[in-house]
Amino acid sequence: MAGVVVQLVGYGATAVACVQLVPQVTRTVTTRRTAGVSPMMWALLCAQGFGWIGYGVRASLVPPVLTNVVALTCAVVLFAVLKAEQAPGVGRALAVVALAAMVVVAVIVVFPNGVLGALAALLSASVTWPQAVAALRTPDLSGLSRSSWAVGIAASSMWALYGAANGSLPMVLASIEGMVLALVVLARIMAFERRVALVQPLESATRSA
């Protein structure tokens, strides 16, 4: 019974995590607005995807594999838009993807799955930092989707539970850190949206005058 509950939590986390990236990708593809979006975060997301897919396949854990296949697909689509729009930092981010992918493949070939899990968790712990830093430094966050980050908080909490149930400390720690950083990004987006909501009526009144 306990095993069934754990699997349900895992598949629930998979479903939520798969939904998480869709609003951001949809927003970027439809509006072509990239302001505030960190290419480096999406580069690390690709690398994390490679790592967790390999880890999940070797450990026979389906949820991490499904989640990261979707995440990898979303990252590729978003990267294509960032490159087409010549967003700052795309070239450097692509170089990071290539290097990280080679490291992950080398770890898969040479080391046991525990090492691969630790590497995937390290990549997961690094994923949100570039976006959190960009959200704190960049005044224009119009390219970011609030929905993605709100869902991301829920996904991280569920992955923390799933990792705890499977005795995966790396997954737990990475998920908790991701949840905290997602809260930071979401707070910055909401502050930006409030600021825009206050400024726009003033600008309209000024133009009317």
pLDDT at 100 exceeding the cut of 90: no
Q: Given CA atoms 64, 68, 69, 70 in this order, what sign does their dihedral have?
A: positive
The pLDDT-based confidence of 190 (bands split at 50, 70, 90) is very high
Torsion angle of C-alpha atoms 67, 72, 75, 79, degrees rounded to 10 = 180
pLDDT at 28 exceeding the cut of 60: yes
The pLDDT-based confidence of 195 (bands split at 50, 70, 90) is confident
Give pLDDT, residue 187.
Answer: 93
pLDDT at 166 exceeding the cut of 90: no
CA distance 170 to 119: 9
pTM equals: 0.79
Work out the mean pLDDT of the chain and round it to a whole number.
82
Give pLDDT, residue 184.
Answer: 93
- Give the tens place of pLDDT for each residue, 55-68: 888 888 777 788 88
Residue 172: partners with Cβ closer than 8 Å, 6 or more residues away: 160, 163, 164
CA distance 112 to 59: 10
CA distance 91 to 8: 40
In the three-class reduction of DSSP (H, G, I as helix; E, B as strand; rest coil), residue 191 is classed as helix
- Give the tens place of pLDDT for each residue, 120-162: 877 877 888 899 998 898 888 888 999 999 988 888 888 888 8
All domains in the chain, ordered by first residue: 2-208 (1.20.1280.290)
Give pLDDT, residue 1.
Answer: 54
Give pLDDT, residue 206.
Answer: 52
